[in-house]
Structure 1
Amino acid sequence: MSMINVHEKGYVRLVDHMGSDLTVVNAARVSYSKESLELNERDVRLIKFLAQEGHTSPFRHAIAQFEVYAPLMVARQWWKYVVGSAHYEGTGDSLDAWNESSRRYITEEPAFYIPQAGEWRSKPANSKQGSGEPITWELGEKHTRELMAYVELGISKYEAALADGVCAEQARLFLPAYGLYIRWYWTASVQSVAHFLAQRLEDDAQQEIQQYAKAILELIKPIYPVSLEQLI
């Protein structure tokens, strides 16, 4: 399996990967001019030691590449893990890469994330961020209808602007932003992916990005099972 659907329209696709748990082991052992040809119990103990002691550089030699299609609100949360990935051990440079589709150049049919009536959540009782319990179905149905009408209005104005000859990079201003689906490639080390997963698999993470994090874990865990078990 290389792709998992998320929500009604989104998905995560594993495009490519480099290395395995054995890569992590051999990156650590190169200091002693040692190499393992097949992962064994001693290697598993080494990975556990590296993770527990914060010796994370060997985990940056294993790489995964994903294509993600998600609402803009998810993408902008996710982006924090790219711009913040250089803090590990004071490395100074990030091995993460992010390339995103742009409506400056493309005019494909806009797609939007619209929660269904039973998916709207209340504000949390004791926090300024996050969400609480689901609101009533009747109230959720009202806001689903209103959001759909808002999106349809934005699309009609966007298409009218294009028809009038307005350039795509300005016509897109009519599109409601946060629910708009965008597509990007994310290439990251196993350490960076694990850091993202450790944060966004938590129960208090926004539910929409939690679902994407679960898809990432399902795709990548068979490739790096030992490393992820120790890092998350």
Structure 2
Amino acid sequence: MTDFDKLSEYAAAFVKPENSMLRQMEKKAKQIYIPIMHPSAIAFLQQLIKWKKARRILELGTAIGYSAIRMCLAAGQDAEIITIEREKEMIREAERNIKEQGLTAWIHIVEGDATEDLPAVRDAVPFDLILIDAAKAQYEKLFLKYARYLAPAGIIVTDNVFFHGLVCDIDGVKKKPLHRLVGKVDSYNRFLAERSEFDTIFLTVGDGLAVSTKK
């Protein structure tokens, strides 16, 4: 059987970020374990943005600003990216990175918890595309909260839905906190599959992507 991680790395080797700064961000994230999207997953997301011609985009989970920058580059000069982050240190790092890329006019960071009501986000609706890449235990809650913020035929993309392949062997996960978290991701995937108002496909890209299109 083909090793999923090896195949993902093989695919990632063909993905080239737009500039040297993004390459440095990837290296730094890997070195100090900052969660950013897998190269092949962000490359697919960029293509999806271009196919969809998505211009108004909401991201749940900014981290260091890597995916917001890549999405903005794909969406073009008339894009507006709203991205939510609660960790002040991450926000400062993301602001520096976004400024260095010259994208402060298009990417707006909203400080706060994505599970709470944030007026700055509510005032920016509707969105063509929403990326869920925040706390995995909150995925279902976040989907239900933000699905109403979508434009007609809008798309919600959820990252890490395969959780390093652990969703295929939940019983094999012995550590209780991890077992609970993997179980929540698995439940979320089943929740997505049952949403009658969305068409969802699951892609073996990166660490797994769920692409849910509003009917």
- Bin the TM-score by the shorter chain: under 0.3
Q: Which has the higher strand share?
A: 2
Structure 2 length as normaliser, TM-score?
Answer: 0.26
Structure 1 length as normaliser, TM-score?
Answer: 0.24
Larger of the two Rg values belongs to structure: 1
Which structure has more relative contact order (CA 8 Å, sep 6+)? It is 1
